[in-house]
Amino acid sequence: MLFGPFFKLHEDIAPNLENFGPSTFQGLTTDFEEKSSFSNDVSANLWNVYIGEARRYDEELLKGWKEDMDGVLLFSALYSASLTAFIIESYKTLQDDPAQNAVTLLSQISLQLSSALNETSPLQSSLDFEPPVSAIVYNTLWFLSLALALTCSLLATFVQQWTRDFIHKTNLRPSPVRQAKALEFLYLGLRDFGMHSFVDAIPILLHVSLVFFFGGLVGFLYPVNRPLTYLMACVLGIFVTVYLTLTCIPLFHLDSPYRTPLSTALWRLKNAIQGSSRLSRSDQTLAAAMLEKSLENSVERDKKAMVYTMKSLIDDTELLPFIEAIPDAIIHSHPDYVYVTNAELLSSLLETSNPEVNIMIRMGQFLVKSKTWTDPSFLARASLACPRALWSLAFMLVQGTNIYARTLYPPLPPPA
């Protein structure tokens, strides 16, 4: 009968639980909370965690954008200045040249005098000016190139201004709750309005501008010198081929360090065509796919990383933290088990005969030098860490799940 009152209470409130939800708390704000914002104060620590994580992400994102836009501004400024020098000379081919007209008139007068002496009809030469097709082509390409370069500079300036505005708005209020809500509100707006894609598109415009410049250069040289024209056409073809190759490599090899601003757009197009799968979801970014891929089949890469780590740990002060981390990496919370994955990882440091990599040899050398240590705290840490690490490695070797037993005697298949 001890639980009788509880069951009676449960029967009384159970019918009301069907309507329980977020709306249940509406209207329950007390006068104290309304006057003192008590609920915001008690949740400040909770929101501080969100602020810390959000700011870390936002700072790296905005820092990357700022560095990219600085590079765009510098390149577009130098590029526009060089392109302007070409345009100053090329635009003259689109208009009538008075000096050339004078030469044409003098030639016509000379022909008329000559025909009068020879009693023949002179050939009439027209003074109507028509720019050559090649001049129209390369001037069009160069003016488009200049317009795109200047547009990139303007958009890069906008991005820098918007990032400063984002940081300023998220730091206006000292309250953690208000800062968190501002961060959430502004970042969602930044994502919903596609600012990531907007920033990625700016370098694309600059690259297109560069292609237009090379195309215009080929058209400019065509009436001047054919071999030089063919040479520049080859340079343009090589440039486009290399650019497209660098763009497409990360679509098939996620560990590739090469990419262009077009890579992200082609990645999304590729995922949309292939459909949804675990590694190629239409809503997955190229960076997210790379991070996910890095977690697959990583045993050999992890072993190479451990070998590199051991070779890099030269000083005793660098080696001690690694030795201290060995027991936690091996010993399972259950007293009779070890972490098999980490055991396989550390096996590469036990099997090798390289004295720079073998963990037992390195620990032996580490202990031999203990007589030269003068720091008592360091000596105390080493005296505790080395026995624990040796015991952990020995425990790993004698267990039935250690790496050697699993390699020499693989587990039998389950009975049918």
Q: What is the pLDDT of residues 271-318, one digit of tens each?
A: 888 764 444 455 677 888 888 888 787 778 888 888 888 888 888 888
Distances (CA, A) of 136 to 93, 142, 148, 298: 8, 10, 18, 57
* Structure confidence at residue 104 (pLDDT): 63
Q: What is the pLDDT of residue 151?
A: 95
46 three-state secondary structure: helix
Q: What is the DSSP string of 169-207?
A: HTTS--SHHHHHHHHHHHHHHHHHTTHHHHHHHHHHHHH
- Residue 367: helix, strand or coil by DSSP? helix
3-state secondary structure 18-29: HHCCHHHHCCCC
For residue 241, pLDDT over 70 is answered with yes
Both structure tokens of 232: 């520049």
Least confident of 9-13, 189-193, 257-261, 295-299: 9-13
Which structure tokens are listed for 133?
């097709």
Token look-up 């596609």 returns: 194
List, in sequence order, every residue forming a beta bridge with 331; answer none if it has no partner: 338
Query: pLDDT band at residue 129, thresholds of 50, 70 and 90?
Result: low
Mark out the alpha helices in 313-375 (DSSP H runs): 316-330, 340-351, 359-368
C-alpha to C-alpha distance for 212 and 47, rounded to whole angstroms: 50
Secondary structure, 3-state, 274-343: HCCCCCCCCCCCHHHHHHHHCCCCCHHHHHHHHHHHHHHCCCHHHHHHHHHHHHHHHECCCCCCECHHHH
The predicted model gives 63-79 an average pLDDT of 92
| 15-29, 251-265, 271-285 — most confident range | 251-265
Work out the average pLDDT over 96-111.
63
The pLDDT tens digits for 152-166 are 999 999 999 999 998
C-alpha–C-alpha distance, residues 24 and 172, integer Å: 33
Q: 21: which 2 tokens? A: 């939800």
pLDDT of residue 36: 44
What is the identity of the amino acid at 42? V
CB 358 within 8 A of CB 349: yes
Q: What is the pTM of this model?
A: 0.68
Residue 320 has pLDDT above 60, yes or no: yes
Rounded to whole angstroms, the Cα distance separating 208 from 416 reads 64
Of 158, 155, 166, 156, the C-alpha closest to 59 is 166
List Cα–Cα distances, 321 to 34, 324, 385, 390, in angstroms: 51, 5, 9, 14
Q: Take residue 242 and report the two structure tokens written for it.
A: 């290399």
Q: What's the CA gap between 341 and 347, in Å, rounded? A: 10
Instruction: Tell me what pLDDT residue 147 has.
Output: 95
C-alpha 348/C-alpha 359 separation (Å) is 9
Question: What pLDDT score does 8 carry?
Answer: 42
CA–CA distance, 181 with 175 (Å, rounded to integer): 10
What pLDDT score was predicted for residue 370?
Answer: 82
SS3 414: coil
What pLDDT, on the 0 to 100 scale, is given for residue 117?
Answer: 62
Mean pLDDT, to the nearest integer, of 111-115? 64
Q: What is the pLDDT of residue 194?
A: 87
DSSP state of 91: G
> What SS3 class is residue 142?
helix
Q: What is the Cα–Cα distance from 134 to 83, expressed in whole angstroms?
A: 18
Instruction: Average the pLDDT over 332-345 and give the result.
Output: 71
In this prediction, residues 329-346 reach a mean pLDDT of 73
User: Average of pLDDT values for 64-83?
Assistant: 92
The predicted structure's pLDDT at residue 406: 44
> Which own/partner contact pairs does 99-104 have at CB distance under 8 Å and 24+ positions apart?
101/127
What pLDDT band is residue 368 in, cutting at 50, 70 and 90?
confident
> For position 127, what pLDDT does the model report?
53
Give the residue with greater pLDDT, 298 vs 377. Answer: 377
pLDDT score for 75: 93
Band the pLDDT of 22: cuts 50, 70, 90.
very low
H helix count then E strand count, the chain = 17, 0
Taking CA atoms, 411 is separated from 4, 299, 318, 402, 414, in Å, by 54, 20, 38, 12, 9
Quick one: what percent of the chain has pLDDT higher than 90?
Answer: 22
Q: Is the pLDDT of residue 86 over 80?
A: yes
pLDDT band of 204, cuts 50, 70, 90: very high
What average pLDDT is seen over the chain?
Answer: 78
Q: What is the three-class DSSP state of 357? A: coil
User: In the block, which residue shows the tokens 């007390």?
Assistant: 30
Question: Looking at residue 131, what is its pLDDT?
Answer: 76
Instruction: Report the pLDDT value the prediction gives residue 290, as an integer from 0 to 100.
Output: 84
- For residue 389, the tally of other CB atoms under 10 A from its CB is 22
